[in-house]
Structure 1
């Protein structure tokens, strides 16, 4: 599609690759139009931010002319993947899984083009549920060493808390998925999280034994924030792609409030802006990164919820700041509106004598006095839960003292939660 370089080079530059089974062989496989797949867990009716890395990997594959397959684990979901889990999952019904499958395909279709067979969305229940157990053991199970299976990280972790026989079959079934896709669709690349390495390698071995073909595996790193938290997790829970589970405004706010240290990395992973443009930001810090965060939030929101909704929530988020300008030379590949004009004077206001700021005011006192919280303890809880903002920046330290340094254009803008905003006029 007119792209330069290789898709592996693109994924590597953007931080997608942790391990590859055979780099040279995979480069050769991807030098021509190829087929690859990623599996998705069907245990909810929405994917979340933690799924974005594999989704974006499939999109990059398609942009470079390859055919991605998204596998919904409707069959394996009837068992439960033990990878990364300390206890057995609740087993789901067929009706629940089918409902989730429909919702997840709609979300993937926001980013992946499934028209005319350019990509496929398959449910492994279609081939796993009909397997005959004895034939499966004779034909597939004989190729697996129990000792080797128990050495896999996903099984070793569960042995400490208890691994039942249903879950023990999971590696065989996922390997069979890879084999089935290689046989039926000539798919010879599986991608997945780092905890899937053992399952991927098992599939590669099975394909070689059954089909005599060389297959490949690629795993993604575990994405954590600079603070060490798991990607997409907040005090309120997961950040979902579904607007019913996480509103587009809250989705935007998640990205605009990322740690400064994560901005460049997340722009590479979760947007399609040129890497060269993103690398040019590496020397920025502090307030210089605020426009970059807005672009990150706008771009990801536009990809997941559409450009109209992204612009709507972007304008709503900017309403606390009056005019917002983003210089055209900052990430010029972004389609974000460069200038948003809002009359800050229209916001509810509260007057604060200038001399009150000379010694400083505890931030929770200010939120209480400004009428944004019913008590100081409620203000403390709001701050601890990550729902309090000064001049658009989340308050991360409950002991913050507000001084004259926070005054911008004669005022301080406080925000509590999604809807409560107060302009503190300092005079």
Structure 2
């Protein structure tokens, strides 16, 4: 389970230094496996402005740039198609190691013209896969400033080992809750953490989505809400940065929202492109011989022991594990259905083992996702979709009932001393 320090502080109000946080995590049973600061690898790169851009005399696809990185003009040969006068980007001087290219820059002669460093792409800095052009920053980015500082990349990544019994800590908020309980700060209200006025369900218009569950053992509860008229562009920079920091590739706003909420709150979600659905959705047992091509591009043979989400014509989701390729969202998606369901942990584990298919969703569902968080989880996802992608919401549909009956556990206060080795008065234990 990876998260950044800044991400943790979205939920935890604390002034504790990183070393104290790391020590406390291990002390409360969340063993820290490592801490990595990605900004350290980019410490030498600076914000720079292209002053002039002229065609290279010996190469049509190269340009000779005059670049200001804070100390006056520097000559750089560049082959990026978007390089132009006035562009503000990221510059690496001679002697700088470029992690994405695995090279150390030096003064070089390129087709007979001296080049003193490099204007860099996202891939060269290992910040993404974009390599068609150099990074473009806002025109008011501070020339000469360290890029890692400007971009907020000096944010340590903490890697914590989560034991199978701690599903509550399969989300950043659960880890923040444990640290608050250990006295290391205060857990912020969830609405405050998300800068939202409320997390009440979104009151929508029109007709609620058509969903039901015919497999109450495998899927006791299936909540859903539709949003129409969305624009699925890029997610905001803060969300992309956090996902990239933990090794998840940002894809699009709709996909990134589900991935972010899964890591942030331990609550997996799924978003369907409604244009690709035929009729309503039902949680049911698969039929022997059914197949589904998942979002990873692989086809899986299903059997009657597996819970799936299907429409009138085909299976669209191996429940709680992975969605299907046929109804996945794309840049053309305009109408979506957001699924927030609760799946039986044992059922998920058996299906995943049989298909040898793992995913972030499976890791959480087979440990037991919070069954009392369906309404808030769906409301949060719907509000994020509307905030980032626009659109209007339908009413919420709630099919089935989550297993939220409180459980009573017999406890003898004397066990504290006999098993824990610590004598604590019963009223203090309570």
TM-score range, shorter chain: under 0.3
Greater helix share, structure number: 1
Q: What is the TM-score when the length of structure 1 is the normalising length?
A: 0.23
Point out the structure with the larger strand share: 2
Q: TM-score, normalised by structure 2?
A: 0.23
